[in-house]
């Protein structure tokens, strides 16, 4: 299963008026990073970066002035994201902005059925605990030392590690086929049930002759050998 863990940075918080200014994505295949990634800065046509947003991501109007418009990168974006399950933290925020950009170009929105949101996943797994990306990185010992401010690509790399931990940690990647995974919206390994004991034990494959020889040998081992505690009753031993 192909997945893209992604993040965006924007000029502000209003998806109807503000614009996407950075997109980052990291590709996973069966929950294992492939090394492929997507990253671009975007010039927000007709929109200035809000000071509060600048404090978060540090992307200035001057820095973005020579970057491509969303319309200039949409094909590359679609090629990378189009066939994958998309994973984001607080995905509603990112998807509103991306779908608003797509709508401005007359393109269809990305459906919610393709989205996995790690924020509710974290809240279900750790009720009442902080569920920010920073808090989850701390919980799972994900290294954030390379990160000074929020950035779409670095946050995608961090979230990819968090996501793998949320779905069961590194051991989840040892499953070998898509049949052993949950569906698109789940991203979890199948919840295998422990096998129930047999109602009637299988008959012993030890012959009566072998059993007698073993008992004779054990009798030479001293006063209280451990073996007799594990012996089947003589009548349970298969006849030769």
Yes or no: say if 68 and 42 are a contact pair by the CB < 8 Å rule.
yes
pLDDT at site 146? 86
Q: Over the chain, what is the mean pLDDT?
A: 86
Measured torsion, CA atoms of residues 4, 139, 188, 185, in degrees rounded to the nearest 10: -50
Q: What is the mean pLDDT of the segment spanning 41-53?
A: 96
Closest CA to 114 of 83, 145, 137, 142: 83
Active site residue 89: no
**Residue 119: partners with Cβ closer than 8 Å, 6 or more residues away:** 89, 90, 91, 131
Q: 2-180, superfamily in CATH?
A: Ribonuclease H-like superfamily/Ribonuclease H (3.30.420.10)
How far is the C-alpha of 91 from the C-alpha of 7, rounded, in Å?
A: 8
Residue 184 three-state SS:
coil
Q: Across the strands, what pairs with 39?
A: 24
Spatial separation of the C-alpha atoms in residues 224 and 173, rounded to whole Å: 48
pLDDT tens profile 154-206: 999 999 999 999 998 765 444 444 444 433 333 333 344 455 666 777 777 77
Parse the chain into domains and list their residue ranges: 2-180, 197-240
User: What confidence score (pLDDT) does residue 205 get?
Assistant: 78
Q: pLDDT tens digits for 65-102?
A: 999 999 999 999 999 998 899 999 999 999 999 999 99
Q: Which two tokens stand for residue 103?
A: 């709508």
Catalytic residue among 31, 89, 150, 157: 150
Evaluate if residue 221 carries a pLDDT over 70.
Answer: yes
DSSP state of 84: S
Non-local CB neighbours of 233 within 8 Å, separated by 6+ positions: none
**What does the pLDDT average to over 26-30?**
96
């Amino acid at each position: 299963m192909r997945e893209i863990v992604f993040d965006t940075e924007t000029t502000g918080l209003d998806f109807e008026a503000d614009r996407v200014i950075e997109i980052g994505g990291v590709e996973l295949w069966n929950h294992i990073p492939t090394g492929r990634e997507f990253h671009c800065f975007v010039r927000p046509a007709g929109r200035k970066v809000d000071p509060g947003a600048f404090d978060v991501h540090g992307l200035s109007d001057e820095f973005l002035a020579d970057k491509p418009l969303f319309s200039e990168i949409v094909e590359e974006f679609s090629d990378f994201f189009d066939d994958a399950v998309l994973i984001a933290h607080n995905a509603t925020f990112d998807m509103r902005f991306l779908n608003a950009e797509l709508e401005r170009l007359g393109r269809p929105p990305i459906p919610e059925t393709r989205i996995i949101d790690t924020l509710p996943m974290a809240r279900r797994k750790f009720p009442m605990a902080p569920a920010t990306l920073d808090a989850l990185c701390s919980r799972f010992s994900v290294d954030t030392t390379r990160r000074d401010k929020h950035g779409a690509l670095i946050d995608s790399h961090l979230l990819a590690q968090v996501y793998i931990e949320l779905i069961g940690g590194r051991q989840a990647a040892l499953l070998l086929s898509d049949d052993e995974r949950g569906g698109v919206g789940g991203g979890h390994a199948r919840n295998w049930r422990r096998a129930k004991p047999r109602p009637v034990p299988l008959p012993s494959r030890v012959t009566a002759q072998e059993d007698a020889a073993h008992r004779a040998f054990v009798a030479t081992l001293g006063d209280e050998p451990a073996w007799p505690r594990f012996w089947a009753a003589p009548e349970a031993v298969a006849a030769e």
